[in-house]
Amino acid sequence: MFILPGIPDGVAAPGNARTYSLLTNRFPDHTSLYVRVQDRDSGIVYATYSLGRAIAFEEPQAEIDHTNQLHVLHCSAPRAWAYSRIGLNGELLAHSSFMETKTRPRLVRATNGDVAVRGGIVESPAAERSRGTAPKLSARPPGLPKDD
């Protein structure tokens, strides 16, 4: 379990800090990685949900950026990595997949506090890759007369 503190913008008062926790749950056939966002002082849990399957022998990477958003990169399958960005109230702000190439994906922090994934290659969903490249199966071939 990782526990990382996050503080909402402009809030420095005690009792307003968020705690990000990364938890694993081992099922008989796989392991899943979960994120929980809570205010420990008040006991409020803003969200708890699965970030997907995880390979247990690879520790997930977690970083908090300058806006206090949590960035998580974890191995989801052999040579496949899942990247998630979570906001202070537990909302999933971004989710994408990376494939290992000659380099393994990793989280890096820039000098300005931004966090990004370096290495690997972004895997785009099949629907995005093929959009606009092939006609629908239901489309009539060009040049055929219309049905009346």
What is the percentage of the chain residues whose pLDDT exceeds 70?
72
- On whether the CB atoms of residues 80 and 99 are closer than 8 A, the answer is yes
C-alpha pair distances (Å), 129 with each of 55, 79, 118, 142: 27, 20, 22, 24
Per-residue model confidence as pLDDT tens digits over 14-36: 557 888 999 999 999 999 999 99
| Domain limits, the chain | 2-7+17-125
Question: What phi, psi does 79 have (nearest 5°)?
Answer: 65, 15
Tell me the pLDDT tens digit for each residue of 86-133.
998 899 999 999 999 889 999 999 989 899 999 999 986 654 544 555
Kindly tell me if the per-residue pLDDT of 7 is higher than 70: no
Across residues 47-74, what is the average pLDDT? 92
